Amino acid sequence: MLRYGFFYGPGTGTLSPAMIDQLRHRRVPVIGDGGGTWSFIHTEDAASATLAALERGRTGSIYNIVDDHPAPVKDWLPALAELLGAKPPRHIPAWLGRLLAGEHMVAMMTEVRGASNGKAKRELGWLPAHASWRDGFADAARQPTSQRSAA
């Protein structure tokens, strides 16, 4: 079984025109302490890991398919905004986040934990081409808008 991190790259919502617009208009705040740690994966790395798992994975094994650098929301969200030339995201308290975005989003922003890809690297011989979300976001953001999804 493969457990993927948050997808980004062509055909995903992380760098879609709609998400970029939301970030540029400061409509995606850091909720609470922003301590929720997210693990990301570029769609091309997800594809290469899937192939490696089909070829070398052990039946019944679970592999986390993520990059090498899990990051708290308080780090990656402002970095993404800066990359896009947007102002830093606003910060709102968790209680307000619950009213505006719901309990699930507050948990994602404050409690979720990152994952390790160590087992996938060891057992599948897989390495992500985009080892860090920072480099991967920058690569994906440089693609022409026509190559990004509108989803």
Summary mean pLDDT of the chain = 92
Closest CA to 39 of 74, 75, 65: 65
Residue 145 has pLDDT above 70, yes or no: no
Helix axes 133-142, 73-83, angle to 10 degrees: 30
Structure tokens at 131: 């080892």
pLDDT of residue 11: 65
Residue labelled with tokens 């400061």:
26
User: Looking at this protein, which amino acid is placed at residue 76?
Assistant: W
Flag whether the pTM goes above 0.75.
Answer: yes
- Residue 52's Cβ-side half-sphere holds a number of Cα atoms within 13 Å equal to 20
Please, are residues 66 and 133 in contact by the beta-carbon 8 Å criterion? no
Residue 28 has pLDDT above 70, yes or no: yes
Confidence of residue 150 (pLDDT cuts 50, 70, 90): very low
pLDDT of residue 69: 97
pLDDT tens-place string over residues 47-74: 999 999 999 999 999 999 999 999 999 9
Q: Going from the N-terminus, what domains does the chain have, and what CATH number goes with each?
A: 2-134 (3.40.50.720)
